[in-house]
Chain A
Amino acid sequence: MNKGQKRDWVKIILDNFIWLILTVLFTYFAVNVPNFTSKTNLLNILLHASVLGVLTIGQAIVLMTGNFDLSAEGMVSLSTILAMWLMIEPGSVVGTAQGSGLMLNPYLVIFIILILGTLSGYIIGVLITRLNMNGFIVTLAAQLVLRGVAMIVSNGQIMTGSPKAFNWLGGAKIYGIPVSVIVTLLLFVGVNYMLNQSKFGRELRAVGANPDAAQASGFNPKRTITLAYTIGGFLAAFAGWMLLGRLETAVSSLGSGMTLETVAASVIGGVSLKGGIGSVGGAFAGVLLLSLIDNALNLMSVDSFWVESVRGFIILLALLIEAQKFRYKPKVVHEKEPAVASDCK
């Protein structure tokens, strides 16, 4: 019994290892990096974590079904550019790209880009599940297409000057705390709770762990995977809205490289690349870890040439731990069966 309890502890620690690393790192930085714990800096970390966080929620949901979504950053790019194009005046600033001159109401624009994201996610899901196309390639192609359209619309130029109503999500503050941070935190808590308690969360993980058995248990894996991509598409557009609000400037290269960061954050947070295991809450810890490291390296004025490789090493380290976790099996406690009673001479 005593032994059993010990093993449970091992499991609990392993399951929450990421939070442990996070605490240790945070303490280390707090002691060694000046200004690290200042309110501005902490908010900076969270601000950095917000757009990445929203994208990571979508990525984690898709990963749980055993699939990849490489298209999200393309959606970030297109949604910001399109929003600008619909909202700003033609040629409002010299040397920048032309708006369409439609000057649409910002709220309508928000609605349009969210619908666009949802629809694009849905189409990707349908291509993958109904037409049996490879998810990795489909979403890679989708990323190129989305960013390509963004380039065409923006003519490759910077678009600037988004209206205030649009910027509220990304730029406004409540009691000194950025709205985007609050919204991201609420999203994480809400989605994490939903996915751990709802039928859809069960379905996601069952389909990811074993689509055949999930189907034989009464689920519809194709529908589940399509839905996961649809949610991912919606969240990508949402992240675009948030990012544009913060920057008030859009350029088609926005979001480049974020896809891999979302995958890294998810995996660091314990979401299995093979699907079926992990939670959005864990992925949030991964997002915090990445943001924390970025911020600290920045404050310590580490040579920017080094930053990338240091981040790479930390991701590798987290993966290493993740891989070892799966090897740990609590000893099976069942009846002592004779090692198959011999039923023949």
Chain B
Amino acid sequence: MNTTEKVMERTPILSVEGVSKAFPGVQALTSVDFCVMDGEIHGLVGKNGAGKSTLMAILMGILEPNEGTIIIGDQQFHAMSPKEAIEKGIAYVPQHVAMMDSLTVAENILAGELPKTKSGFVNWKKVNSEAKERLDRLGLEMDVTKKVEGLGVAEQTMLAIAKALFGDAKLIILDEPTASLSRTDINRLFAFVKSLKDKGGSFIYISHHLEEVFEICDRVTVLRDGHIVGTADVAEIDVPKLIVMMVGEDVEDYTRESTCEDETVMVLNGLERRGYYENINLELHKGEIIGLTGLQGCGVEQLGKGLFGLEPRGIGEIILADKKFTAVRPIESFNQGLAYLPQDRYRYGLVGLRSVRENVTYPILNKLVRLMNLINGKEEKIIVNKYIGELDIKTPSQEQPARLLSGGNQQKVVFAKLASTQPSVLVLHEPTQGVDVRAKMDIFRIIDAMAAQGVAIIIISTEIRELIGVCDRILVMNDGRLTSEFKKGEKDMTPEKILAAIEGGKINE
């Protein structure tokens, strides 16, 4: 597109029709239709796991869709190779830009085409002047002799965008470019992107920050659970409406009767880990379900892992079942009555190569071993069978490798593993991520049943609607502090209010 002024026409520069993509156990995208016009900034929003990354990977030629077509200009593709995608003018600028850090801006811009002198050496004068000239054409001011590692994050992002344009990119994908930027930097970046748009550039803008979408985008598309919920002009929509599109209203909600009893199971007293969370005070009752939520990086994730012993916990006191909770390793946590369901099932939840049976009994092997550390196979099979029945795990046999189960059933295997340790407290991190709608209901039923047996449950999740459905209380964390509390039955417990609290900090006072 270079810098030549283009007439703003509403012609699609890229469209995607009926694209589906499935991974073992997960349907990541279901017949997605998506279209970016020439010269627009198109916002793409959705929660974690909604399918944004999968869609982008398909556009970049990294993944091949199971079905569907990609149309660029007048050409149709089923799938592209990464090289083809670049040739077609699609460029991706990630959150953390990868460039040759120890080289100068000019070298990065002219990499591979450095002007040479007659004797074959690099003509440095020309390198710098040429680079400067190119940047000037985009209206970007930068010291081209500076090393890239000395630039700020915003500059690096802008430089990456500029570089993509020099490479004849027609559509630039910006993935969370503002995640680690200050407000002033965001303003500069946005001004730059807008100026490029005025010169005819097209962008896909991915972000978790909804206000930014309204600030910079022309249209916005919402993805949820691998489906396109809709596309709207930002002029015709507002934040609450967008939130409703993201969290969904048409999904049947799971609701339950509270099983909360008066007896206290766990007390957190002044828990603090520098840089992650501080002053965490929490009382957890028998059969109670608490939701913990907040923006990415607010510290809930570390709190969950810290409680379980996957990460350092910091200082503070924890009382579990009237005893001091001293576990620093997962196995000790299991033994002292606390179990944790990790967010990333494939990496932390399951040993996918091994069988369902082995996965379920990993934490309780110490109770199953007899003489010479040999495992009592009969007893093990009985236990595993019990949980397969109770949690309704669909598997051909106990010996099936866990990786071959569907996403929902894999998650149930993880639940069976946790249940086998008979915990008093259960910490669940995004328990419904990557499972389909039906399995979600099953998982809520399992959570419900465990609470009814008196297990106190903490759910760490960004699925606000789901939390509202199952939790007795929802606590919001902001920058490592618990800032607001919503109780079941109070009329404040609405997705809008909670989301406002997540984004804005204290509002409950």
Contacts and interface: CB of A to CB of B under 8 A. Distances in A.
Nearest to B358: A202
Given A213-B349, A335-B394, A198 B409 contact: no
Contacts of A198: 369, 372-375
Interface string B423-450: 0000000000000111100000000000
Contacts of A200: 373
B342 interface: yes
Interface in B358-376: 358-359, 362-363, 365-366, 368-369, 372-375
Given A217-B330, A217-B362, A199 B373 contact: yes
Interface residues of B, number: 53
Interface in B406-424: 406, 408-409, 417
Contact of A340 (B27, B251, B395): B27
Nearest to B226: A340
A332 interface: yes
B334 A218 contact: yes
Contacts of B359: 217
Which bracket fits the contact residues of A?
35 or more
A66 to B, nearest CB: 11
Interface in A193-245: 194, 197-200, 202-203, 205-206, 209-210, 212-220
A330 interface: yes
A132 interface: no
Contacts of B439: 337
A168 B350 CA distance: 47
B354 interface: yes
Contacts of B409: 334
A344 B377 contact: no
Contacts of B405: 332, 334
B389 interface: no
Nearest to A208: B353
Contact of A216 (B227, B342, B373, B375): B342
Contacts, number: 126
A206 B406 contact: no
Interface string A326-345: 00011011110111111110
B306 to A, nearest CB: 13
A276 B404 contact: no
Nearest to A216: B348
B1 interface: no
A115 interface: no
Contact of B366 (A199, A215, A338): A199
A212 B406 contact: no
A213 B352 CA distance: 9
B159 to A, nearest CB: 34
A220 B331 CA distance: 8
A333 B396 contact: yes
Given A343-B251, A343-B437, A202 B310 contact: no
A313 to B, nearest CB: 29
Contact of B351 (A199, A214, A341, A342): A214
Interface string B212-244: 000000000000111101000000000000000
A276 B354 contact: yes
A343 B250 contact: yes
Contact of A210 (B308, B353, B374, B438): B353
Contacts of A276: 351, 353-354
A213 B353 contact: no
Contacts of B358: 202, 205-206
A209 B329 contact: no
A151 interface: no
Nearest to B30: A340
A168 to B, nearest CB: 27
A185 interface: no
A314 B479 CA distance: 60
Contacts of A206: 351, 354, 358, 362
A339 B224 CA distance: 15
Interface string A91-123: 000000000000000000000000000000000
Contact of B437 (A209, A332, A334, A341): A341
A197 B377 contact: yes
Contact of B248 (A197, A215, A343): A343
Given A202-B365, A219-B331, A343-B250, A209 B436 contact: no
Contact of A344 (B224, B352, B417, B436): B224
A4 interface: yes
B330 A215 contact: yes
Interface in A19-47: none
13 contacts: A199-B365, A202-B375, A209-B352, A213-B347, A214-B351, A218-B363, A219-B362, A276-B354, A334-B406, A338-B438, A343-B227, A343-B250, A343-B437
Given A197-B377, A209-B353, A343-B248, 11 more contacts: A198-B372, A205-B353, A206-B351, A214-B351, A218-B331, A332-B406, A334-B405, A337-B436, A338-B438, A340-B436, A344-B248
5 closest cross-chain pairs (CB), A and B? A218-B331, A217-B362, A334-B394, A209-B353, A218-B363
Interface of A: 4, 194, 197-200, 202-203, 205-206, 209-210, 212-220, 276-277, 329-330, 332-335, 337-344
